Amino acid sequence: MMAHAASVAKPGFFPRPPAVVRLRMTRPADSMDQLVRQVAERRDRAAFEALFAHFAPRLKSYLMRLGVTPQQAEELAQEAMLLLWRKAALFDPAKASAATWMFTIARNLRIDAVRRESRPPLDPADFVPEAEENAEDGFSRGQSEVALRHALSTLPPDQAQIVNLSFFSSKPHSQIATELGIPLGTVKSRLRLAMTRLRGAMGDMP
């Protein structure tokens, strides 16, 4: 799963940091700041690869020290690295180092995960319109369905697969875990991440 985040878009794109990246990792801490700026300014994949190789295992270890399970720590570390890729432009070296910034992101993701676990899961009925609807309701429902289809298309393949099996095929989590050959906890964590993404993508749509 870590390799998936490192590739940004293609699983296994960066299976192992090449020599040039390993050399970069031996530079002082301010070089990490420079690599983040390269990602922000040029979407530099080599810079991101170096950052991923440096920070991903450290973030996972940090999250595990906070009491997160190894599986969830790996997923949260991956999500933190994806946020770095998407929001590198927000990094301000005048306020904090790259390391401080990344560990803050990881800590906030962990807090969000705890909050999600304390709330009841999203009811699939939230996406289903009421049986009786007038023309205006029908138009709104059509907009919601379009928004939902678009939101589903933005999910990573592994999360979209879990959503389809759970909601649209009505399969229990244990059956999904057996069919996909993955732990039950992975099914639940992927579903939580997918629901969070769907809420954000749907915005204020009913």
| pLDDT value, residue 163 | 80
| pLDDT value, residue 121 | 54
Euclidean distance between CA atoms 130 and 126, whole angstroms: 10
Contact 146, 153 (CB under 8 A): no
Answer with the one of 100, 118, 136 that is the final residue of a domain: 118
Euclidean distance between CA atoms 121 and 119, whole angstroms: 6
**3 state DSSP class of 97:** coil
In a shared domain, residues 69 and 158: no
In a shared domain, residues 114 and 128: no
Euclidean distance between CA atoms 195 and 172, whole angstroms: 16
In a shared domain, residues 34 and 54: yes
Q: 63 to each of 3, 38, 58, 189, 198, how far by Cα in Å?
A: 18, 26, 9, 15, 25
Burial 71-82 (b: 16+ CB within 10 A, else e): ebbbbbbbbbbb
Answer with the one of 118, 139, 161 that is the final residue of a domain: 118
pTM as predicted: 0.47
Smallest Cα–Cα separation from 55: which of 1, 93, 113, 101?
A: 101
Domain span at residue 139 reads: 124-202
In a shared domain, residues 108 and 177: no
Count of domains observed in the chain: 2
Cβ–Cβ contacts within 10 Å for residue 184, how many?
13
In a shared domain, residues 14 and 99: yes
Helices 70-87 and 29-42: angle between axes, nearest 10 degrees: 60
In a shared domain, residues 132 and 185: yes
| C-alpha Rg value of the chain to the nearest Å | 19
| pLDDT value, residue 124 | 53
Answer with the one of 87, 118, 149 that is the final residue of a domain: 118
In a shared domain, residues 19 and 109: yes
pLDDT tens series, the chain, 206 aa: 444 454 443 333 333 444 334 434 444 566 899 999 999 999 999 999 999 999 999 999 999 998 889 999 999 999 999 999 999 999 999 999 999 999 999 999 999 888 877 655 555 545 444 445 454 444 444 455 566 666 677 788 888 888 878 777 777 888 888 888 888 888 888 888 888 877 776 654 44
CATH number, residue 184: 1.10.10.10
In a shared domain, residues 93 and 129: no
| pLDDT value, residue 148 | 63
In a shared domain, residues 96 and 128: no
